[in-house]
Amino acid sequence: MNEEAPNWRLEVEKHFKAAETTAVRKIKDTNPISHINGLIKIMADSGLINAYDISDKFHTFSELYSFRMAYNVLLFNEWAKLGLYSVHKSYKHYDGEECFGGGWFVVIAMLPDGQITNHYKNEHWELFKIPEKEKVQFEYDGHTPQDTLYRMFALNSSQK
């Protein structure tokens, strides 16, 4: 074994022993998925892994996020061409604050059942050929990921 390469098991154990904090105890006392997510966060925060490289055996998180962005680009660009759903992009939220403090932008569509949004790093701005706004035109309605899925599937059902 390469002496210079960190043994990730020893590193994780060291972090658990060194940081037997309330947060670590909470991770240990939760369901298995929360425990795994906690371990991933600890390992990623300590630089032992890149969480985007984690895979379900078919795709990494990085690949899945790239697919999501590609589908979003195709859909929002098409809606913009058709003048549908008030699609637009902005570096600022409705309140005028930069997305996540800067370096990010948001894309938004106002569907019949409410808005759907996604945030992307500024390097992807040009992929979205949609109207640009000084700030998002609609106040955030508090939608969750589950709300977004419902709204998209409801739109699909209404288009039969």
Classify 125 as helix, strand or coil: helix
Whether residue 131 is contained in a domain is answered as yes
Whether residue 2 is contained in a domain is answered as no
Quick one: 70 and 105 in the same domain?
yes
Quick one: 107 and 28 in the same domain?
no
Quick one: 122 and 151 in the same domain?
yes
**Which segments of the chain are extended strands (E)?**
88-90, 104-111, 114-121
Q: Which domain holds residue 34?
A: 8-49
Per cent of the chain over pLDDT 70 is 81
- What pLDDT, on a 0 to 100 scale, did the predictor assign at position 12? 61
For 86-100, b/e burial (b = at least 16 CB within 10 A) is bbbbbbbbbeeeebe
Interstrand relation of 114-121 and 88-90 (parallel, antiparallel or unpaired): unpaired
**pLDDT at residue 157 tops 50:** yes
Quick one: 78 and 144 in the same domain?
yes
Residues near 102 by Cβ (< 8 Å), separated by ≥ 6? Answer: 91
pLDDT (tens digit, 9 = 90+) per residue, 101-119? 999 999 999 999 999 999 9
**pLDDT at residue 3 tops 70:** no
CA distance 20 to 4: 26
Quick one: 75 and 112 in the same domain?
yes
Quick one: 71 and 29 in the same domain?
no
CA distance 109 to 136: 10
pTM: 0.72
Quick one: 13 and 87 in the same domain?
no
Whether residue 69 is contained in a domain is answered as yes
Whether residue 3 is contained in a domain is answered as no
pLDDT (tens digit, 9 = 90+) per residue, 36-64? 778 888 888 888 877 778 888 888 888 99
**pLDDT at residue 5 tops 60:** no
Averaged pLDDT, 94-102: 96
Quick one: 35 and 76 in the same domain?
no
Quick one: 43 and 65 in the same domain?
no
